[in-house]
Amino acid sequence: MPSRLIKSLSLGLAAGIALFFWQEKRKIAPVQKKPHVTVTVFVHGSLLSGLALLNPRSVWDDQLEDTAYFEVVSRARKHRLLRQDQILLDEDLHEIPQTMIDAVMNGTIAVHDAQYAAYVLAAAYDTCATHVANTHDRKYFAFGHLGLLSQKYRKQAAAMLYSRLCAVKSAMSVHYDRVEMIVIAHSHGGNIALNLAHHEDELCNGLGVDALVMLGTPIQHETARYVSHPMFGMVLNCFSAGDIVQRVDFMSTAHRKSHQSLLEQSLVSLHKDEARFFDVQLMVNGVDSVVDHANMWMIGRSHPFCTALDPLPFVVFIPYVLSLIEHMPLSVRHLAVNMCYTASTCSLECRAITHEHATTFTPNMALLKNMRDMVTRYWKPEDTSRRAAFSYKEARVMYDAFVQLRAADKEAQAS
């Protein structure tokens, strides 16, 4: 009996040990987090705004349901030509794959993919970002929407963007100790981004945006107060005297006026003293009217703001701007960023309008020219004109959308 008992105990002990090691082997090893990632999200502005004239009263009243304007833009938004001159992909938030950026850098991008300006511009932006700080990972996304002239719609689009950014931050936090969020928005895309604060107040998910860069955003009373919201670490309102579009929108705001500066007298009372926001006037070789609404964001549209680096838009140089402004004191609100260039040199200077503070960044001109050559080598749009409006692209997009709408109406009548 004792020998049988010892044998049973031995077998039980062996089975227990085997079971222990089997369970240990099945355990998933803890994820080794990386220290830091910068997530950059590009948000485009309004699209085909001239179509608002199809239903001006509805736009004025912000009631776009079942209007021709809404129906035409909804169809036009899917057109391939819209993707060929700006950072714009399909609706919703989409990652710009690192494989595409690498393909542009390595010269292996397919001809079809090279027509998407988002890929070549993200590669150009990444070149500048790497030049500023090559110490951590970077991820890029593009948020697409219909681009309607509507306060209501922009708030709805912001709700989707808010949800997606929360999901991205949560997913990235599994792999990184620090997730830095930068949102770069053009035109009314800036008002969509500002509306993130409205949804943070409602949902309290703790979403934070380390830097919001607005390019040519129409400053409106409905959203101007959000620049002081604590979810934004820093807000840059970039504008230029050459941008005549920024102040034109009087239809999609109840105050019937859009502003260029956050420091306009009627807006000052909306801001908090401790908030880190800046008005940033964009200049080139000391001239304040060279940068305009189109060449801020769109590749090869309008006149070149920098002939030595044409057709690059100003947006790809934002990493330099962020680096310049990072340590500016709160006592300075109005800044001028001046890009000075010749055929062989380039520098960016950020200076307070009062000349109390100044910082300078000198990019490698050879690197910038290689970046320009890389972009021009692969970017082959169907519309090669420099027109930002009244172009072949816009005419073709609108024509095709009207044809689709008419076909849909005929089909509905037939059924």
E strand map for 265-333: 277-284
Per-residue confidence band for 326, with pLDDT thresholds at 50, 70 and 90: confident
Dihedral sign of CA atoms 195, 199, 201, 207 in order: negative
What type of residue is 46?
S
Q: What's the pLDDT at 11? A: 58
Query: Whole-prediction pTM value?
Result: 0.91
| Mean predicted confidence (pLDDT) in 100-106 | 93
d(CA 393, CA 386): 11
- CA-closest candidate to residue 275, choices 220, 207, 197: 197
Residue 16 pLDDT greater than 80, yes or no:
no
pLDDT band with cut points at 50, 70 and 90 for residue 53 = very high
Alpha-carbon dihedral 252, 253, 255, 261, rounded to 10 degrees: -110
Cα separation of 233 and 182, whole Å? 10
Residue 9 has pLDDT above 60, yes or no: no
Give CA–CA dist 190/367, Å, rounded: 30
Q: What is the pLDDT of residue 17?
A: 64
Which of 127-131, 219-223, 324-328 bottoms out in mean pLDDT, i.e. has the lowest? Answer: 324-328
* DSSP assignment of 84-119: GSSS--SSEEEE--HHHHHHHHHT---HHHHT-HHH
Q: 346-352 and 137-144 as β-strands: parallel, antiparallel, unpaired?
A: unpaired
